[in-house]
Chains A and B, each alone.
Chain A
């Protein structure tokens, strides 16, 4: 009898203890100010060597670690960064930067003009950076605190380019000692210094004590890698993590309704399009590409792939860019016409083609829908699911694919952003993985880039769109929104169209 009683008492005590422990935890979390931020990544960066980065996740990490000559604020404005002042030469092809003094690197070194010139030249020499560096020629040291950047031609968007993630100022000594090791452990002057990278798990940073501005408000950042975006959203909803961007469209409603989260959205400076390898034996046929353009129902694609959160795109030029022709209409959805064109091209029964996709829903769903839509005109898509890093290797850097979809973000708000993607000179050195070689297009892109007359430039880009309609180098499908879901106590978050997120500006309430 006694035994039974004591067991009962013990279990009651245990219950009380558990309940109390639960209460304790709650009160603690609300009173203490948090000093860490957990950021969710749905993939893993391949490298943290900023000149070699090529995806949004890696950009997000290097933005925290490095500073830039010119700094881009969360609202999009440009302000002096490591360059206190700068002036242009009369013809606009040379810029002299006066470097801020007494700025320290994470390893204790003091920033010199040497480091700046090295970083710029290193970025200019990288094959990943052509979309922002194609106008830059070289950088040289003038004196201890002055750097001269030579341009190939005057270029209006140059300041945006210099504020881009890939142009981070790195520590020359650390980089030259071992570039491979640097890519896993970058050294910059930024608000946060690198701490640890556990492959497949997380990347952690801590606030830099000797930062040249005030120390960051949030002490520790963890970029937690969660490959499944649904799991990531669930973790966000449960409060396990604090911040994620580009939320899966199926989860937007849930996030909006969750009272512990804040949802931020703005138009993205990126366009999604169907990539056709212009050198593929069948796709090199203009009529085939036209047929594909007619067979794609953008409205259905937007409904099925992004839950309706997108606007149809008619041109390759980003809607937020200067030179975007708002009234332009591309080829309409017309299955009969598509079939005719395909028959004229010599493929009345269609053909089979490999479509490279990744498990990420942004690529997987458009693939499945295109499989259905193109199937209607006899083009059979064989969907090859690969890992994101393989996709980057095969499609973006290797030019080794047949068909795919991609999402292209723009580094600066000017129609010239398409130059590095479609100019024939960019096939080997740049990002023209579509393998477009078209003299007329080259000429128009050059004119749009070099001309100083806004009207002439607008006209050049209009002509490019007309040419696009005729040639269908790629099929633009939709423009996306870019969004952030964050813990509602996190302040200072501003959604940003080129997705530049700097945690330095954030703080806990």
Chain B
């Protein structure tokens, strides 16, 4: 992270230098929190595992192919997390499940943050009727709990990876748009915006170049926390049979399948449970750390 900005420093442009120092100071503040660092470490670990999953296990052979003779084996040397009720390796399913959970989480938050920022900034910048229209629309969506909204959308579209992504993305848009709108309302009347406007800068440029960069802090925090929520929502929907279709490994559906063996083979629920808790906790710790680090009132 640091290297990148050191590199840009050499270009000597004042703007980049300034941004670098700001990011560096954020990083310095972030580093101070041990919990936040632990979260970051956990997340990086998960991401690395997700990326190198094919080196650790064979997707078709270990995570998908059923092998009844070795069903329900407790954790052992060959199967460090044991095998499930169809004789599939739980470890392989967990690491491939990490790919699904993390990528759905990241992708849905990416989509919803872009949509949300767009809607929020238009509403906040132009105000008036557009603001009213867009925000009331968002209020309608916000009135429903996001998990409930996601269930409704999945029920309408049918289960599956893409539909799940759409459902979660839509249900997260209102939060982003609200956050962006409120930051924009506080920024848009400041002098530097007035200066830009008096120079004849177009609205689009003002929003993209001047307003959003100044409102980015809360968006990043919200995005990080939203990924955590999205992971929980993907798992919950899969747990209810509305998410990922079998036989794809997904933590929530692994939990649901393991549920009926809870009395005799506890590891089938404990392991996916820990995986969900770990990833969500990591993201929450990072989110909290970022919130503190991005707080403009805190100085080094």
Q: Which residues from chain A sit less than 8 Å from chain B, CB to CB?
A: 229-230, 248, 250-251, 253-254, 297, 299-300, 303-304, 359, 361, 368-369, 371-373, 383, 385
Q: Is the CB of B260 within 8 A of A361?
A: yes
Q: Which of B170-207 contact A (CB under 8 A)?
A: none
Q: Which of B65-108 contact A (CB under 8 A)?
A: 65-66, 68, 71, 85-87
Q: Is the CB of B241 within 8 A of A359?
A: yes
Q: Is the CB of A254 within 8 A of B263?
A: yes
Cβ of B261 within 8 Å of any chain A Cβ, yes or no, is yes
Residues of B within 8 A of A230 (CB): 259-260, 262
User: B258-287: contact bitstring with A at CB < 8 Å (1 yes, 0 no)?
Assistant: 011111100000000000000000000000
The B interface is mostly helix, strand or loop, or mixed, namely: loop
Complex Cα–Cα for A245 and B160 (A): 33
Q: Is the CB of B263 within 8 A of A251?
A: yes
Of the candidates A229, A297, A303, A368, the one whose C-beta lies within 8 Å of that of B246 is A368
Contact (A369, B66) CB under 8 Å given A303-B71, A359-B241, A385-B241:
yes
Residues of B within 8 A of A304 (CB): 66, 68, 71, 85-87
Residues of B within 8 A of A361 (CB): 260
Contact (A371, B68) CB under 8 Å given A253-B264, A385-B241:
no
Cβ of B159 within 8 Å of any chain A Cβ, yes or no, is yes
Q: Which of B137-176 contact A (CB under 8 A)?
A: 159
Q: Is the CB of B68 within 8 A of A300?
A: yes
CB distance from A456 to the nearest CB of B (A): 42
Residues of A within 8 A of B127 (CB): none
CB distance from B37 to the nearest CB of A (A): 40
Complex Cα–Cα for A12 and B226 (A): 46
Q: Is the CB of A372 within 8 A of B247?
A: yes
Q: Is the CB of A303 within 8 A of B68?
A: yes
Which of B64, B87, B263 gathers the greatest number of chain A CB atoms within 10 Å? B263
Residues of A within 8 A of B247 (CB): 368, 371-372
Residues of A within 8 A of B31 (CB): none
Residues of B within 8 A of A385 (CB): 159, 241
Which of A250, A297, A369, A385 gathers the greatest number of chain B CB atoms within 10 Å? A250
Interface CB pairs A-B, < 8 A, 8: A230-B260, A250-B85, A253-B264, A297-B68, A304-B68, A368-B86, A371-B247, A373-B66
CB distance from A359 to the nearest CB of B (A): 6
Residues of A within 8 A of B68 (CB): 297, 299-300, 303-304
User: B233-256: contact bitstring with A at CB < 8 Å (1 yes, 0 no)?
Assistant: 000000001000111000000000
Q: Is the CB of B65 within 8 A of A383?
A: no
The 8 A-B pairs of least Cβ separation, nearest first, read: A300-B68, A250-B260, A372-B66, A303-B68, A254-B263, A368-B246, A230-B260, A304-B86
